[in-house]
Amino acid sequence: MYMVMFVLDNPNPLDTMLDAWHAAGVSGTMIIESTGINRRRSARQRPGLSALR
């Protein structure tokens, strides 16, 4: 068994990628949404985004 971790910055091609992995024989996948520290910090510094603090 292998674990492959793939970071996808743009979620638009996600369904196409999952379909391709399934066609290649990958029997299971897990999708975890996260935010990196740089994106979090830059969002906090933008004016008008106080809800993210």
For 8-25, what is each residue's pLDDT tens digit?
888 899 999 999 999 999
CA distances from 40 to 3, 7, 22, 48 (A): 27, 16, 32, 14
Its pTM stands at 0.59
Binned at pLDDT 50, 70 and 90, residue 51 comes out as low
Per the listing, tokens 């492959």 go with 4
Q: What mean pLDDT value characterizes the chain? A: 83
Please give the helix or strand (H or E) that residue 16 lies within, else none: helix 14-23
Whether the per-residue pLDDT at 49 is higher than 80: the answer is no
**34 vs 43: CA distance, rounded Å:** 14
> Which one has a higher pLDDT value, 49 or 16?
16
Domain locations along the chain:
14-52
